[in-house]
Structure 1
Amino acid sequence: MRITTVINLFLIIVLLSCSDAQDQRAEDRPKEKTVFQTSNPWKPVIDVRADVAIVYSVKDHHENGGMTFEERVQSWRDRGYTTHFMSGIAWGEYQDYFTGKWDGKWHLDEGQVTQQGDTIWHGHMVPYIVPSTNFIQYMKEAVIKRVIDAGIDAIYLEEPEFWSRSGYSEAFKREWKEYYGFDWRPQHESAENTYLSNKLKYHLYYRALNECFTYAKAYGKSKGMDVRCYVPTHSLVNYSQWMIVSPEASLASLPCVDGYIAQVWTGTSREPNYFKGERKERVFETAFLEYGSMESMTAPTGRKLFFLTDPIEDWPRDWADYKKNYQATFTAQLLYPMIANYEVMPWPNRIYQGLYRTSADSDEKERIPRFYSTQMQVMINALNHMPLSENKVSGSQGIGILMANSLMFQRFPTHAGYEDPQLSNFYGQALPLLKRGVPVKTVHIENVSFPETLKDIRVLIMSYSNMKPMEETAHGYLAEWVKSGGTLVYSARDEDVFQRVQDWWNTGENDFKAPSDHLFEKLGLDVPLEAGEYQYGEGLVRVLRNDPKEFVLEAGSDDDFVSAIDALYRKTTGEGLAFKNNFTLTRGPYEIISVVDENADATPYTLEGMLIDLFDPEIPVLTTKVINPGEQALLFNIDRVDNRDIPQVIATAARVYDEEIAEHSYAFLVKSPLNTTNVMRILLPKKVADIKVIDHFGEAMKVESSWDEVSKTCFLRFENNPEGVHVSVKW
């Protein structure tokens, strides 16, 4: 029988009243620093040895030998993994819902539909969903309940996505009438209709996640479990650029949301943008802004955040392309030192067993080359040890760029000639500074009520050319920040057609022509406001009457903007911006470096020391590393090891277990996927005298070894095995 509303209410009461003694205490849980997601059962070729295996989908897969969801989960538990669960909230293998198997009713009419009447499909019989209350009930009963009954206490509902071009289905029209109280209006007919349509799309997935997660926590409580709920989601930057609407920042304030996975990878970060009038891919810079928008969205709320990278991407390309862009996104994520939880990869099956081109100009395909799988595993094993750090990425601190969820609302369709090519009104505020070596930070207007949001911001850049404030209360917090000494830069012509949509700034007691007029009034300034500089309390307001896209759509058009920010930064801090062509950060023994191109300075960055290159599958010891413009580096700095007399593995393409240290020996077990090659550097007090590498059958394995006297490291190379390889060295 279906769970009734009465039972749902009972579960909410249980959630509120159940004793804390029933909770599984967070400190008693296994380590959950690194995770990966897979729809497969355990296989030796995908045993990547992260802390958590996130098992995807409750569907019983025929391609997995007919295994049930519960059997797939158990296969990972049997190998020592903590198991979590993930599925889509906007799409998924929910054919039993759409074809009527669940409740006897056909629900394919609940797909997202374009103006042309086409359903937007994610796969066969898998439409992108208009999340009705009936679908939410299905998710609770058919998915979430089953997952919790399987003993899983962490649920990830990913990608709450509503395409901007959709909004024409009968299901959406019904939701419109219920939400607004009047009949549906086609979004292509006016800017206001578009704005209303996107606000509804935003609300529908906010509602869906709120109800699903509230149920999950309540049902978990009824079974004595503390269920945690996470949202894997693309960044606000990417969703805005790809013309998708999602709740994003608003979810962080929900008590039922415990955190996010920042889904940033080559596929999102290679989306072209404009700078110096040129439209092209800028993977590192875009990834840096994407990760930054996720970090700033969650930091003030204290929610847990995982950063994701992917060694390949959704679209088929060649292995050299994957490698180059993986390094760029991987470096970008590491430049956020207060994030140290990672999804090390999605879909290991397609990474290790998929076939991709051997080169850009060849149709020949092969599985992942050994050199790349080795490098990748060195990188993801570094994530298992990547520390949090109070260090700051190099460059002038305190430049913020304001964002709002409504960045997603003006992207499609076009009205009255409004254009924002490739989200240039956002990138026009960020790239002129980022490309000059200034580590700009994004700030979410939804979070300005949290004191932590603006406490380190000295100059805040904002525009309402591409977004609008969804609540007027934000302006009060911004005004107080300026009054206390902050510097606010407002850059917009305020001429776009979305300034005139009916919303809080021009309804009720408000009669402002643009939302910025309300902000300026809060700042004690008369409107309309011309370009210029104004004082408010201890702070400054600088108004530029340019849409930010003007700074990037033509070469040389950003000089005045950068000069203005530099001058304001000097007034605020007493020193000008530090312009350079690189970003560097030290996290424990790790050195993270990126050198940007399209900069007046084309000088390579050089680092000296006792360094291991973790982007090189040979993990060589270097005394000098040169990084050219457009390149990145991840280095292990042996000079930063606290106690070099203690034997330790400092770089490896396998995960180390069961270490045993004696006076003259060091032994351990390593595990990693089958059909991959392990390389490792072991720091030792003296030159190694004896090496034994034994497989799980007790047989000696073929091993390549060498000794580096300067670094006092032993290099080993041998074949990996998820069953474990025993290594012992003596000196």
Structure 2
Amino acid sequence: MTLIATAQEKKPENNTKEKTAFQTSSKWLPQIDVRADVAIVYGVNGNPSDHDKNSGFEERVRSWRERGYNAHFMTGIAWGSYQDYFLGKWDGENHLDEGQVEVDGDTIWHGHNVPYIVPQKSFVNYMKEQVIERVIDAGITSIYLEEPEFWARGGYSSAFKEEWKDFYDFEWRPQHTSPENTWLSNKLKYHLYYRTIDEVSRYAKKYGRKKGLDVKVYIPTHSLVNYSSWAIVSPEASLASLPGIDGYIAQVWTGTSREPTFYNGVLKERTFENAFLEYGSMVSMTAPTGRKIFFLTDPIEDRRKSWDDYKRNYQATFAAQLLYPQVNNYEVMPWPERIYTKPYSVAFTDKKVLIPQVYSTQMQVMINALNEMPASENLVSGENGIGVLMGNSLMFQRFPTHDSYDDPQFSNFYGQTLPLLKRGIPVQTVHMENLGYQESLKDIKVLIVSYSNMKPSSEEVHENLKKWVKNGGILVFTGRDEDPYQEVMEWWNQNGNKFQKPSENLFKMLGLAEDLNDGSYKVGEGRVFILRKDPKEFILKENQDKEFVETIETAFESLGKKLSFTNHLSLQRGPYKIIAVMDESVSDELYFAQGPVVDLFDPRLPVLSQKTVAPGEEAFLYDLEEVYKNNQPKIIATAARASNITWQENSFSFQCKSPENTMNSLRIFLPKAPKSIVLKNSEEETITPKGSSWDANSRTYYLNFENSPEGIQVFFQL
């Protein structure tokens, strides 16, 4: 009998794939055997929030490797379980005074004896010697330096004052006393972590080469959207150009994306829309540089909520990440020990329970789909050529407030994006730090720019914008230029430049008058539209975005195009369909996805002739037409990692592994009804499924049985 190869190839137990990952501070446990490609072991001393730190680092690494995982390493770069450093065990000096400090003298803490740190040279040396060397000595070649964060409200410690004097060559100035001082303070915070990441990543690669190892260094970081919203300063986009950095993890999840935003005068959570913009800012940060990026989602979040709340928001962030078809690497979850072994609330009750099996099954179907998720050249629905310029300086103006100029809930950013996204336009973000890369503006037809909540990092930004506009780009500039940061001491008013506002330099470079009013202006093959309102004005009150939207429509008409608006975004990547229907949009119409499709958000994996998606909902579907084309056995969806997949003319078999105490739900396409099915555990004992059924219409078989990290073997006789 001839063995027929399948698209789902047999994978060795010890694989070298790095498509999916999760981070954990625990040793291997059967309850958290997630079966992604990579287990990112956290911290040489664990995670600051751990209560059980009995397992040593090397033991934890070994435990995951023995189970077939590729072991990587992650640690905080702004905080961590570094008590040996903070309390003086490492060098005999107490370093607790190096924490980030607020104006009232309080240290900003991440945990007990774990401050958010001002990264001075002693800390950098500690990271090199006590962390990086130990990790590489353990044979790990992928290192993740997590969350380079400096709180905007910090900047008052003696350590920071020392760094100020060294960097600026004049005495420290309290940031709350003027916009100028705030700007200087935040630029220094940015520099300190840029320097730290540069030095530590270079050292990791150098030390690895001494050991004959090719070490990769990644930065797990919140999006620029979130850090700006939460008033945190980080190097963000600039790190992508460092020689020691190989990529990022986009730390986007319910906790970041549920931050309330204003739209149409209403402040509320808009998790899907916010997540879409967060993931987009991470793509714009990395794609032009060619660096690798993992997208993160989390089935729960840091705040104590109900399982129902977690599920609803997880679906929203999960759908948002899949609407970026160029990304197909994922951190499928952080902290599986938190997800699987800790109780959380049941909605509308006082009860706390471990993760309900219906939710763990759904979640595992979703994360195992990520193991198969292809990149795609398909574009998400709607006009893909509209971008919004953003830059690191968005983080510099968030705290404190000066001269009564306020930007509530980061509304100057959302005022440029939500009015379009809510109308079915998958608005992109463009990092000014990457404008020197041709890829940054290659597909952008209309670029929205405002200096109300950020400032251009250099004159080169304007040089690149001038070139793009003169070659046919349409620039829409919106802003009153009245915020107190317009006149900080910067390049546009220094070294021979005497512009009062950075936009004056941009307009002059474009050959226009420096102080333009509302209007449309021809520049080379392109055009500039001016709208003299701060973007926050479009969303802080009801029905105030009409002029902005009409300006974008007019901009497109100048290209001979017409914008159309809908209430949804959709995308097909391979057999997977992703749909998000938004509320507060141009209509309340339902979206009808034609089948036959399998609903991957439903743990029962039903086959539907049509899926209806209502406003405020998302859908994740498997298109069965894709498997009908090949007419070969295919695992469509499973709440376990399938391996050793083989089929012959009259049989089909595979092995499933997933955490214990969870239920597997599988739907499999078969060319014909099976004659028999046998399930065996790792002891070769036959087990009885909880449910099984053949659906003749779709030619799919459904199975439901208890998962095992040791593996369940499934045999179909055809």
Other-structure match for 2:4: none
- Give the partner amino acid of 2:388: I
Structure 1: state its 5+ residue gaps.
1-27
- Give the partner amino acid of 2:661: N
Q: Does structure 2 retain, via aligned residues, the 8 Å contact 1:41–1:64? A: no
Give SS of 1:371's match: helix
- Give the partner amino acid of 1:585: L
Q: Does structure 1 retain, via aligned residues, the 8 Å contact 2:346–2:352? A: yes
**TM-score, with length taken from structure 1:** 0.95
Q: Within the alignment, does 1:365 sit opposite 2:352 as a pair? A: yes
Give how far 1:353 is off. 0.8
**What are the residue-to-residue correspondences of 1:20-99 with 2, within 5 Å?**
30-59=16-45, 64=52, 66-99=54-87
- Give the 3 Å change call, closer, same or farther, for CA 213–65 of structure 1 in structure 2: closer
Other-structure match for 2:542: 555
Equivalent position to 1:660, from 627, 630, 646: 646
Other-structure match for 1:15: none
Other-structure match for 2:374: 387
**What are the residue-to-residue correspondences of 1:462-481 with 2, within 5 Å?**
462-481=449-468
Give how far 1:596 is off. 0.4
Q: Within the alignment, does 1:440 sit opposite 2:435 as a pair? A: no
Give me the whole-angstrom Cα distance separating, in 2, the residues matched to 1:352 and 1:66.
Answer: 20
**What are the residue-to-residue correspondences of 1:482-631 with 2, within 5 Å?**
482-572=469-559, 574-631=560-617
Equivalent position to 1:428, from 381, 399, 415: 415
Q: Does structure 1 retain, via aligned residues, the 8 Å contact 2:503–2:514? A: no
Give me the whole-angstrom Cα distance separating, in 1, the residues matched to 2:53 and 2:337.
Answer: 15
Q: Does structure 1 retain, via aligned residues, the 8 Å contact 2:422–2:585? A: yes
Give me the whole-angstrom Cα distance separating, in 2, the residues matched to 1:63 and 1:670.
Answer: 32
Give me the whole-angstrom Cα distance separating, in 1, the residues matched to 2:226 and 2:350.
Answer: 30
Which has the bigger relative contact order, CA under 8 A and spacing at least 6?
A: 2
Q: Within the alignment, does 1:696 sit opposite 2:661 as a pair? A: no
Q: Does structure 1 retain, via aligned residues, the 8 Å contact 2:45–2:53? A: no
- Give the partner amino acid of 1:136: V
Q: Within the alignment, does 1:411 sit opposite 2:398 as a pair? A: yes
Partner deviation per Cα, 1:421-480 (whole Å, 9 max, x = no partner): 000000000000000111100000001111110010000001000000111111001000
Other-structure match for 2:694: 707
Q: Within the alignment, does 1:674 sit opposite 2:660 as a pair? A: yes
Partner deviation per Cα, 1:62-104 (whole Å, 9 max, x = no partner): 9557321001000000000000000000000000000000000
Give SS of 1:499's match: coil
Give how far 1:641 is off. 2.5
Equivalent position to 1:150, from 138, 156, 160: 138
**What are the residue-to-residue correspondences of 1:61-460 with 2, within 5 Å?**
64=52, 66-359=54-347, 361-460=348-447
Give SS of 2:380's match: coil
Equivalent position to 1:719, from 706, 710, 715: 706
**TM-score, with length taken from structure 2:** 0.97
Partner deviation per Cα, 1:664-696 (whole Å, 9 max, x = no partner): 100111100000000101111100110101111
Give SS of 1:306's match: strand
Give how far 1:644 is off. 3.7
Give me the whole-angstrom Cα distance separating, in 2, the residues matched to 1:544 and 1:94.
Answer: 50
Give me the whole-angstrom Cα distance separating, in 1, the residues matched to 2:296 and 2:508.
Answer: 42
Give me the whole-angstrom Cα distance separating, in 1, the residues matched to 2:410 and 2:360.
Answer: 35
- Give the RMSD, CA atoms, in angstroms: 1.1
Give SS of 1:500's match: coil
Q: Does structure 2 retain, via aligned residues, the 8 Å contact 1:644–1:684? A: no
Give how far 1:363 is off. 2.2
Give SS of 1:534's match: strand
Partner deviation per Cα, 1:517-569 (whole Å, 9 max, x = no partner): 01111101122212211111000001111000000001110011101101111
Give me the whole-angstrom Cα distance separating, in 1, the residues matched to 2:676 and 2:647.
Answer: 15
Partner deviation per Cα, 1:250-298 (whole Å, 9 max, x = no partner): 0001111000000000000000010000000000000000000000110
Give how far 1:643 is off. 4.3
Other-structure match for 1:9: none
Give me the whole-angstrom Cα distance separating, in 2, the residues matched to 1:305 and 1:234.
Answer: 13
Give SS of 1:563's match: helix
Q: How many residues align?
A: 702
Q: Does structure 2 retain, via aligned residues, the 8 Å contact 1:644–1:685? A: no
Give me the whole-angstrom Cα distance separating, in 1, the residues matched to 2:118 and 2:670.
Answer: 59
Give me the whole-angstrom Cα distance separating, in 2, the residues matched to 1:476 and 1:399.
Answer: 20
Give me the whole-angstrom Cα distance separating, in 2, the residues matched to 1:629 and 1:674.
Answer: 36
Give me the whole-angstrom Cα distance separating, in 2, the residues matched to 1:208 and 1:65.
Answer: 27
Give me the whole-angstrom Cα distance separating, in 2, the residues matched to 1:622 and 1:466.
Answer: 47
Partner deviation per Cα, 1:3-50 (whole Å, 9 max, x = no partner): xxxxxxxxxxxxxxxxxxxxxxxxx98110000000000000000000
Give SS of 1:329's match: helix
- Give the partner amino acid of 2:570: T
Give me the whole-angstrom Cα distance separating, in 1, the residues matched to 2:316 and 2:517.
Answer: 41
Give SS of 2:558's match: helix
Give me the whole-angstrom Cα distance separating, in 2, the residues matched to 1:622 and 1:688.
Answer: 22
Q: Does structure 2 retain, via aligned residues, the 8 Å contact 1:644–1:683? A: no
Give me the whole-angstrom Cα distance separating, in 2, the residues matched to 1:377 and 1:306.
Answer: 18
Partner deviation per Cα, 1:623-668 (whole Å, 9 max, x = no partner): 0100000000000001022644211211100011111211110011
Q: Does structure 2 retain, via aligned residues, the 8 Å contact 1:397–1:439? A: yes
Partner deviation per Cα, 1:588-611 (whole Å, 9 max, x = no partner): 000000000001310110011210
Q: Percent identity?
A: 61
Q: Does structure 1 retain, via aligned residues, the 8 Å contact 2:463–2:509? A: yes
- Give the partner amino acid of 2:225: V
- Give the 3 Å change call, closer, same or farther, for CA 297–275 of structure 1 in structure 2: same
Give me the whole-angstrom Cα distance separating, in 2, the residues matched to 1:621 and 1:278.
Answer: 38
Give SS of 1:285's match: helix
Give SS of 1:696's match: coil
Other-structure match for 1:23: none
Other-structure match for 1:16: none
Give me the whole-angstrom Cα distance separating, in 2, the residues matched to 1:558 and 1:60.
Answer: 48
Q: Does structure 1 retain, via aligned residues, the 8 Å contact 2:15–2:68? A: no
Give how far 1:700 is off. 1.2
Give me the whole-angstrom Cα distance separating, in 1, the residues matched to 2:142 and 2:255.
Answer: 27
Q: Does structure 2 retain, via aligned residues, the 8 Å contact 1:37–1:53? A: yes
Other-structure match for 1:21: none
Give me the whole-angstrom Cα distance separating, in 1, the residues matched to 2:714 and 2:267.
Answer: 51
Give me the whole-angstrom Cα distance separating, in 1, the residues matched to 2:46 and 2:381.
Answer: 49
Q: Does structure 1 retain, via aligned residues, the 8 Å contact 2:257–2:272? A: yes
Partner deviation per Cα, 1:272-330 (whole Å, 9 max, x = no partner): 01000000000000000000000011000000000000000000100110000000000
Partner deviation per Cα, 1:488-515 (whole Å, 9 max, x = no partner): 0000100111001001011110000000
